[in-house]
Amino acid sequence: LRQMEQRMIAIELAGEGIGIVDQNGIIDYVNAALTDMYCYKSWQDMIGLHWTTLVSVEEKEKIKTQVIP
């Protein structure tokens, strides 16, 4: 449990935007950097969105073919 807490703190404090999606592509978690990156006022506003709502058509295709084989 302690190790998991340390990982979550590290993710939250990271300067890079980090998000976690479920098997259906629905956003379960975002850190503050990702919230800022997409200009949302609160991380809660992003929870429940499908990841594809955040990216352009070009980025969707790149992610679908290179990141999610």
Q: How far apart are CA 58 and CA 61, in angstroms?
A: 5
Has residue 69 got a pLDDT over 70?
no
Q: Which of 61, 65, 35 lies closest to 49 in space, CA to CA? A: 35
Has residue 65 got a pLDDT over 90?
no
Give the DSSP H or E segment for 19: strand 19-21
**Residue type at position 42:** S
Q: pTM of the prediction?
A: 0.78
